[in-house]
Amino acid sequence: MKFPPRTVFAIAALAFLGACSSLPNPFAEKIPPACPRIAILQNAGAITHFTPDGGHDITDIRYSGDILRLNSLCENAFDKNGAGTMTVQVSPVLSLSRGPANTEGTAALAYFVALSSKQHPLWMRRTFPLHITFPQNLTRVLWSDDVPITLTIPVEKGQKPSDFTVYVGFVLSRDEYQHNLKIRAQGQ
């Protein structure tokens, strides 16, 4: 049976394209690994530290700060059953401001990294103390750690990376937390 040249060309083109799809495509986007959600914990992403005498006027602020963003990286290694590990690296970027009541030019504070899962609401929490010195004549500094915090998360068969959340926030006193709630209620 003889086929017209157009039909032969079309069949050859389809066969060629089919073979190409089995070859690696250097232009294809790499799919990022499945990772847990990484978030700033609500009401813990800001801190305002007042003088110990209990005043809450703007002149009583020793320092204030915000977690601006979270730099993160995720890698995972799963077996054919879906079990394995996720390695997550997190590094917060903080903005800290020296308040009018800060005569020493320093700020002592801490932030935490916590891991939760569907099975364990608070699986792990680590605290990282910071001692910030404001350079003379500067009232604001940006801070980030050169060495990210690394979490290795075991994943069992049946669990998904989306079952986990990594939270970052400031370690707050009751007074600092109440201040955050008040500011949030005011819509600021």
The three-state secondary structure class of 160 is coil
Helices (H), the chain: 5-21, 174-185
Tell me the average pLDDT across 19-38: 61
- Count of domains observed in the chain: 1
For residue 167, being part of any structural domain is answered with yes
For residue 55, being part of any structural domain is answered with yes
For residue 5, being part of any structural domain is answered with no
For residue 6, being part of any structural domain is answered with no
For residue 10, being part of any structural domain is answered with no
- The overall longest dimension of the chain from CA atoms, in Å, is 99
Q: Is a pLDDT exceeding 80 seen at residue 2?
A: no
Least trusted range by pLDDT, from 3-7, 21-25, 128-132, 154-158:
21-25
For residue 3, being part of any structural domain is answered with no
Domain range enclosing 79: 33-185
The string of pLDDT tens digits covering residues 123-165 is 899 999 999 999 988 899 999 988 999 999 998 888 888 899 9
Question: Which of 143, 184, 142, 148 is CA-nearest to residue 166?
Answer: 148
The string of pLDDT tens digits covering residues 69-109 is 999 999 988 888 888 999 999 999 999 999 999 999 999 99
Q: Annotate 1-59 with DSSP letters as a single string.
A: ----HHHHHHHHHHHHHHHHHTS--TTSPPPPPP--EEEEPTT-SEEEEE-TT---SGG
